[in-house]
Amino acid sequence: MSAVLLKVDGLKVAYGHIEAVKGIDLELHEGQITTLVGANGAGKSTTLLALSGLVKKAAGKVELQGQDLTSLPPHKIVAAGMVQVAEGRATLTTLSVRENLELGAYTRRDGRAQRLDDLDRIFTLFPVLKDRADGLAGNLSGGEQQMLAIGRALMAKPRVLLLDEPSMGLAPIIVQDIFRTLREINQNGLTIFLVEQNVRQALKIADRAYVIETGRIVLAGSGRELLGNPKVQDAYLGG
């Protein structure tokens, strides 16, 4: 089995008196896709925001390959190697596609040549972004903006890529393209943590999966195991 890259112990997040995440434990293994699935309001996005440092943790510990990230601010978490693609894509619409991608590399300290090489790799992964590189990001379709958001995150050279609902609001054929690309990125060695409401798609590509309900992990196993689990089928896959 591959080594544990990210370890989360006892993570709690509260909004005022409401505990949204109630002491969950997670492990991400190097080179795998791990998914966290559940209904709206179950705590999926809050979990990712806490890992990224964008919401405060009430308790718990987050370690990336032994490095304690628990109390680090978001930009230092990115620099440590954990990068999130936010729900809703959050592209900078008044900047060009190329400028959006270049901003993804803002924490890097390597040379321009390396960054240009990575930009070329993003354009190979998403040819439409190369075609639209000098146009405004705001003129892209929803699917193209999702590609741009993923490409921008990859420009940070993450060790762990966090994805929050990448299929949201996209046509089914575009969703298939996005998931196909995620598999390709993972096959090139990147560890992915996927939060996704499209449970069937998420479990199909996941090596490991967790089900969260009302802030607690209630099931864990391989993606294949949970895809065949009667409780998961009844609750999320229409039986």
Per-residue model confidence as pLDDT tens digits over 29-39:
999 999 999 98
pLDDT of residue 128: 94
- Centroid of chain to Cα 130: 23
Per-residue model confidence as pLDDT tens digits over 150-178:
999 999 999 999 999 998 888 889 899 99
Question: CA-CA distance, 13 to 40, in Å (whole number)?
Answer: 16
Residue numbers of the chain with a pLDDT score lower than 70: 1, 88-89, 239
Using the Cα atoms of residue 42, residue 44, residue 45 and residue 50 in order, give the sign of their dihedral.
Answer: positive
Mean pLDDT for the chain overall = 93
| Short-list 163, 150, 165, 48, CA closest to 100 | 150
Count of beta carbons in the 10 Å neighbourhood of residue 226: 25
The CATH number assigned to the domain with range 4-94+156-236 reads 3.40.50.300
pLDDT of residue 88: 67
- Predicted TM-score (pTM) of the model is 0.93
pLDDT of residue 34: 98
Rg (CA), the chain: 17
pLDDT of residue 89: 64
Question: CA-CA distance, 165 to 83, in Å (whole number)?
Answer: 15
Question: CA-CA distance, 47 to 81, in Å (whole number)?
Answer: 17
The three-state secondary structure class of 126 is coil
